Amino acid sequence: MDGGIQRDSTGGASVIDGASGYLGIDLGALARNYEKLAAEVAPARAAAVVKADAYGLGAGRVAEKLYAHGCRHFFVAQFVEALRLRPLLAADAAVFVLNGLQPGNESACARENIVPVVNSLEQWHAWSGMAKTLGRTLPAVLQFDTGMSRLGVPPEERAALAGLVSAGGCIDVLFLMSHLASADDAESEQNEDQRAEMERVAAEFPGFDVCFANSGGIFLGKAYHGVLARPGIALYGGAPTAGRANPMEPVVSLDVAVVQTRSVPTGTRVGYGASHVTPGPARLATIAAGYADGLPRSLSGRGAAFCDGVRLPIVGRVSMDSITIDISALPEGRLALGSRVEILGPHQSLEDVARDAGTIPYEILTGLGQRYRRQYR
């Protein structure tokens, strides 16, 4: 689908609705990635992590597509995300809040049929107190810290929580969970350490199912799957395991519009701080995206755009709203005002951009701004 795009005289394309570029989101690829992950963990089930607005791609559209392909468990990070997502899903879909609840959100959580992930005794007491106030049972997930020291009930609180759970009451514990810290590194010893610790947790809380694997954990084997896996980055086309071929289909493409082209002589200073000086005559193009659009300043002098499969290096510093690229390798006239160059696509993956920026694909994906025209297909 090419809505909102018109071809220009150079054979490129321009964005006609005022956007700085064109962000393509392939919902078909998203669905196929979910089905692949679901097949990998079967007979366990696969959830979907749709926090941060589905990694920046639109939680409503993403969740709707995944629901149509059988997903019934959706994880967000913050309660406000759950409030926005819950009305968009059918009643048989569960929405979980990974960070649990801030004080005062318990009543709204119960009213909106949202499930908190309990990370501490304090959160347990607040949620059970709400259940007693309402005079009904409320669902929850119990998260345990198995070695990441970020979220979850710490080891020293497990005995007290086990006593509260075994005493019964108004909380329906749906399952136990933890989060793998190094699952993208299949050789990391921490994976086995955390798996063993999760087994100890399960023994201390008998009778409850386990939710353990994230994207990378899915490919560590069935010992990590539990009854429900929680893929995130892999759904959106990111590589679940570093250093291995990516089994997922790309979901996102990004083309950015050209603002201006020019020919410059040897010795021309380019960008803020004159960080680049042309070593010879060059042709340059300025494109309409910068670090405000999710293309980090660290791409300066390292990253690139592509056109017709030709790499066009970034020269000078990435600005807030623009980037300058060297287009000398292209035929003269190939790019003009309104033409588009590829930032993410068949010639440059999320992993490529992240590597050049010295960061991770998650940061690139979630940082893509709102000035692009989004096209779901």
The model's confidence at residue 19, banded by pLDDT at 50, 70 and 90, is: confident
Report residue 60: phi and psi, to 5°.
-65, -50
Query: Annotated catalytic, 362?
Result: no
Residue 204 · residue 164 · CB < 8 Å: no
pLDDT above 50 for 7: no
Distances (CA, A) of 125 to 138, 165, 242: 12, 11, 40
The residue ranking higher by pLDDT, 13 or 52, is 52
The separation between the first and the last C-alpha atoms of the chain, rounded to the nearest angstrom, is 6
Distances (CA, A) of 211 to 146, 173, 370: 13, 12, 33
pLDDT for 14 equals 52
Amino acid at 225: H
Q: What's the whole-number average pLDDT of the chain?
A: 94
pLDDT for 369 equals 87
CA-nearest of 19, 25, 12 to 375 is: 25
Q: Tell me which residue has tokens 């071809």.
A: 7
The three-state secondary structure class of 220 is: coil
The model's confidence at residue 9, banded by pLDDT at 50, 70 and 90, is: very low
pLDDT in tens, 57-85: 999 999 999 999 999 999 999 999 999 99
317/324 Cα distance (integer angstroms): 8
318/311 Cα distance (integer angstroms): 17
The mean pLDDT of 169-177, rounded to a whole number, is 95
CA 285 to chain centroid: 30
In terms of Cβ atoms closer than 10 Å to its own Cβ (0-12, 13-18, 19+), residue 321 is: middle
Q: Which of 34, 222, 236, 272 is catalytic?
A: 272
Residue 315 · residue 270 · CB < 8 Å: yes
CA-nearest of 302, 239, 241 to 276 is: 302
pLDDT in tens, 191-235: 999 999 999 999 999 999 999 999 999 999 999 999 999 999 999
The model's confidence at residue 16, banded by pLDDT at 50, 70 and 90, is: low
pLDDT above 90 for 27: yes
In terms of Cβ atoms closer than 10 Å to its own Cβ (0-12, 13-18, 19+), residue 12 is: buried
Instruction: Please indicate if the annotation marks 200 as binding a ligand.
Output: no
Query: Annotated catalytic, 272?
Result: yes
CA-nearest of 94, 137, 132 to 112 is: 94
Q: Is 161 left (phi over 0), alpha (psi -120 to 50) or beta?
A: alpha
Q: Is 305 left (phi over 0), alpha (psi -120 to 50) or beta?
A: beta
Quote the percentage of the chain above a pLDDT of 70. Answer: 95
CA 130 to chain centroid: 32
For every residue of 40-97, DSSP letters joined together read: HHTTSEE-EE-HHHHHTT-HHHHHHHHHHTT--EEEESSHHHHHHHGGGS-TT-EEEE
The three-state secondary structure class of 136 is: coil
Go through the domains of the chain in sequence order and give each one's CATH number: 5-24+250-376 (2.40.37.10), 27-236 (3.20.20.10)
Q: Which of 34, 51, 65, 236 is catalytic?
A: 51
pTM for this entry: 0.93
Instruction: Please indicate if the annotation marks 377 as binding a ligand.
Output: no
pLDDT in tens, 224-283: 999 999 999 999 999 999 999 999 999 999 999 999 999 999 999 999 999 999 999 999
pLDDT in tens, 110-161: 999 999 999 999 999 999 999 999 999 999 999 999 999 999 999 999 999 9
